[in-house]
Amino acid sequence: MQDFKYFTYGYSPDLRNSIYGLYQPVLNCFLIVFPDYDVVGPQLTAILSSRYLLQPIRIDTADNYAHNVIDNEVCEHWSISNFDKIFPNDIINQVNVILADQLIPVASLSPGLIQIEKEKQWAQFCLFCLRFINSECKTGAAGLWIDNQIGNLDIFNMFEPVLSVQYTQVVANIMSVLYQGRDLATTEQAIIDLVNNTDDSLAHRFNLFLEGYNESTNTTDKLS
């Protein structure tokens, strides 16, 4: 998993930061963990809802949480003790983030049930794209919005028009491609083409963002 170019461990070098995970109740495990939920979490949850429903969980509130216990290498091997607080309607409407009481280890998923590594890579790729979009929005987190009612979700226009009309359309197109995408390689190429066909400046910033992505979101060595 570490060889995947969009991989991040999912914690922050500042261990005081909150850490969140997206939990899939049917699989009873996490598909991704990350610290910047307030910035890109609702958007990521909505994008992934075209594949499966996910419940946002704040995992650093668990009694047994430690950054070297759960990260994006092993998050599919963990569940939570208080999953009884998860209700289908709340997931559909993205009502709340649940605070984990305890992290519970779970057995490996059956290979025939889901290709878990591919799903984890897809989630990591979507997170990368949303972080890039956010880096292009000059107002930062304040420049993001989302309709919390999934049934009325404007999935293709989730960022306020704080950019030029041209760039705003590119953002909407990227969101559309992510929401409808199924194959990672095909979707990745479609987004690269969108960026490259916009202008050289955006393409250059995209490449620079990717080059520095792992360094900016991971520590040099895995924390222990």
Cross-strand pairs, 21: 33, 57
What is the count of structural domains for the chain? 2
Q: What is the pLDDT of residue 25?
A: 87
> What is the dihedral sign for C-alpha 131, 137, 139, 141?
negative
Cβ atoms 155, 45 nearer than 8 A: no
- Determine the structural domain holding residue 100 and report its residue range: 20-114
Q: What is the pLDDT of residue 87?
A: 66
Q: What is the pLDDT of residue 93?
A: 58
Write out the chain's pLDDT in tens, 224 residues.
678 999 999 988 787 899 999 999 888 999 999 999 998 999 999 999 899 889 999 999 999 999 889 999 999 999 999 888 776 656 655 658 999 999 999 987 666 667 889 999 999 999 999 999 888 874 333 333 333 333 444 544 544 444 555 677 888 899 999 999 999 999 999 999 999 998 888 899 899 999 988 766 654 344 43
Q: Are residues 96 and 132 in the same domain?
A: no
Is 51 part of a structural domain of the chain?
Answer: yes
Q: Are residues 46 and 66 in the same domain?
A: yes
Q: Are residues 31 and 106 in the same domain?
A: yes
Is 33 part of a structural domain of the chain?
Answer: yes
Is 10 part of a structural domain of the chain?
Answer: no
Q: Are residues 105 and 190 in the same domain?
A: no
Q: Are residues 155 and 63 in the same domain?
A: no
Phi first, then psi, for residue 147 (nearest 5°) are: -80, 115
77 DSSP assignment:
G
Q: What is the pLDDT of residue 16?
A: 82
Q: Are residues 122 and 166 in the same domain?
A: yes
Cβ atoms 131, 37 nearer than 8 A: no
Is 9 part of a structural domain of the chain?
Answer: no
Is 5 part of a structural domain of the chain?
Answer: no
Q: What is the pLDDT of residue 15?
A: 78
Last residue of a domain, one of 93, 114, 135: 114
Is 14 part of a structural domain of the chain?
Answer: no
Q: What is the pLDDT of residue 139?
A: 39
Q: What is the pLDDT of residue 224?
A: 39
Is 198 part of a structural domain of the chain?
Answer: yes
